[in-house]
Amino acid sequence: MFKRVLIANRGEIAVRIIRACREMGIESVAVFSDVDRKALHVRKADYAFHIGRPAASESYLNIEKILDVARRSQAEAIHPGYGFLSENAGFARACAEAGFKFIGPSPESMEMMGSKTRARQHMKRAGVPFVPGSERGLELDAAERMAEQIGYPVMLKAAAGGGGKGMRMVASPAELHSAYEAARSEAQRSFGDNEVYIEKFIVNPRHVEMQIFGDEHGNVVYLGERECSVQRRHQKVLEESPSPIVDEEMRRRMGEIAVRVGKAANYHNAGTVEFLLDQQRNFYFLEMNTRLQVEHPVTEFVTGLDLVHLQMHVAAGEKLPFTQEDIKLRGHAIECRIYAEDPDNNYFPSPGLITRLISPSGPGIRRDSGMYEGWSVPIEYDPLLAKLVGYGENREQAINRLLRALYEYFVGGIKTNTSLFRRILKDPDFRAGNIDTGFLDRLLTKPSNETDARRPIVAAIGAAIFATAEPKATLAGGPSSAVPTNGNGTGPAPISNWRRTARAEILRER
């Protein structure tokens, strides 16, 4: 096993990997930009090295700087987390050439699956079902012919895309030209590649993905599915496992297809095969993510496996310690992505100083976080602050636990999207499992009673603050008439530990 691992990332995922390293007796090396000097991952790691200015291109995306730190810190392996360089085949190859183990798939697998058009070509040869459309990027005239052939509506997608960038739904021929140019332009800005392909748009699909894991000895297994249909602007905001719509037979068929995808790509380490489900419960290959996913905690809950530990073992050359028959799903888990954004201002980013932080806990609650009280959220990076996960014996219990935890969560000084998740978890359609990729858009058009619902909670918080605060006269040594007595008038009554603790929590001076 490695003795020292560099984490080429930041935020909650860097903290998550550092914790796994500590549990395994591995020393961790953090990297940070100017604005992340006081970030939580820097504080948690065994070693931390500055790598540049705030711009990601000068820090977290700078391969040479990261490899230089790996050399100076004497790290043996590099974990990329997700985002940044995690799916960059050039970075994986550079790590290998510099003598560092890349904790992820091979560069060849990443190159095969990194381009959606190239992946579709390989998956067609492997007999994997995918949405009708083109197998390579198209010029406008070819896109027009393909759209007529498969029928409107269609979806334009960036071949090198992800995160909803370079995607446009086209409902009619009149919209195709402008949508095509917009998709190409956004793809070029986001990925440096303007290749755009076309596929049939599935009306009201569900987005379900299958977690797979492979070792370097040819073994590949699937670890169950995740429902990812709750999305905003093609980006996931809430995920759960298992999916409310997937039964044992469908899980087996989908899992076997996902394993076929992994073997066709000669894949090892953690990967995710994504599918679209139509209204008849037919599923189609969408793409493969060649990295650890943001939503991996829900899979960890229902399988009982630690995926980051598993990544380390596989990267060290070990075989998977189980077979497909050993994998059993137990209970239900749901994850909310907590962002620094303002729901009342079109979810605009909300950077700034975190002046107060009250974190939820209790049965079945997990919080993967990169924030702390007194830390300033930077504007330069993705606004993901934390992931809040609820687990229960069944879906209803998981929902109720997570909803309870969301009401306990308080982040002062900035805005967060916790109110959005309270709306989602209380919605009758969501609770019934009636969701698709258009669910959240429909929900946001409905009037919200969240403000009214929060009034009694705000009043309760105010009452708690008032109840736990000492009268000013007491704190300032004022007249004895303002000081509570022990009942016989001989002196101040002792303050209970409950009051003292509550006052310290709520009124703590900075």
The DSSP line for 195-263 is -EEEEEPPSS-EEEEEEEEE-TTS-EEEEEEEEEEEEETTEEEEEEES-TT--HHHHHHHHHHHHHHHH
The CA distances from residue 250 to 208, 243, 247, 253, 431, in Å, are 11, 11, 5, 5, 21
Using the predicted structure, report yes or no on whether residue 165 has a pLDDT greater than 80: yes
pLDDT in tens, 319-365: 999 999 999 999 999 999 999 999 989 899 999 999 999 999 999 99
pLDDT in tens, 96-108: 999 999 999 999 9
What letters, b where the CB count within 10 A reaches 16 and e where it falls short, cover 406-415? beebebebbb
462 pLDDT tier (thresholds 50, 70, 90): very low
Catalytic residue among 168, 291, 337, 422: 291
3-class secondary-structure state, position 372: coil
CB 113 within 8 A of CB 290: yes
Give catalytic status of residue 291 as yes or no: yes
User: If you search the block for the tokens 């609770």, which residue do you land on?
Assistant: 431
Q: Which of 283, 282, 259, 284 has its CA nearest to residue 272? A: 259
pLDDT in tens, 371-393: 999 999 999 999 999 999 999 99
Which residues 6+ apart lie within 8 Å of 467 measured at CB?
Answer: 502
Question: According to the model, what pLDDT value does residue 125 have?
Answer: 86
With both helix axes pointing from N to C terminus, report the angle between 418-426 and 450-468 in degrees, rounded to the nearest 10.
120
Domains by residue range for the chain, with CATH: 4-103 (3.40.50.20), 132-200 (3.30.1490.20), 206-452 (3.30.470.20), 470-503 (no CATH)
Model pTM? 0.83
The CA distances from residue 467 to 117, 461, 503, 504, 507, in Å, are 62, 10, 9, 13, 12
Using the predicted structure, report yes or no on whether residue 284 has a pLDDT greater than 70: yes
Question: According to the model, what pLDDT value does residue 391 have?
Answer: 98
Supply 177's token pair: 């030209």
The CA-based angle 79-81-85, given to 5 degrees, is: 85
User: If you search the block for the tokens 């929902």, which residue do you land on?
Assistant: 399
**Torsions phi, psi of 8, nearest 5?**
-90, 60
pLDDT in tens, 213-248: 999 999 999 999 999 999 998 899 999 999 999 999
Query: Based on the number of CB atoms within 10 Å of its own CB, is 54 exposed (0-12), middle (13-18) or buried (19 or more)?
Result: middle
Helices (H), 102-222: 107-114, 116-125, 140-150, 173-191
* Average pLDDT for 471-484: 36
- Cα(43)–Cα(370) distance, integer angstroms: 11
428 pLDDT tier (thresholds 50, 70, 90): very high
Using the predicted structure, report yes or no on whether residue 510 has a pLDDT greater than 60: no
Question: According to the model, what pLDDT value does residue 457 have?
Answer: 54
**Chain length of the chain:** 510
Helices (H), 265-375: 296-303, 307-315
Q: Which of 68, 27, 77, 28 has its CA nearest to residue 50? A: 68
- Which helix (H) or strand (E) segment holds residue 428: the answer is helix 428-431
* Average pLDDT for 449-456: 55
Strand arrangement, sheet containing 4-7: 47-52, 27-33, 4-7, 77-79, 101-102
3-class secondary structure for 60-97?
Answer: CCCHHHHHHHHHHHCCCEEECCCCCCCCCHHHHHHHHH
CB 165 within 8 A of CB 190: yes
- Cα(415)–Cα(59) distance, integer angstroms: 27
Which comes out higher in pLDDT, residue 457 or 29? 29
What is the DSSP annotation of 403-417? HHHHHH-EEESS--S
In the chain, what percentage of residues exceed pLDDT 90?
77
116 pLDDT tier (thresholds 50, 70, 90): confident
- Cα(240)–Cα(221) distance, integer angstroms: 20
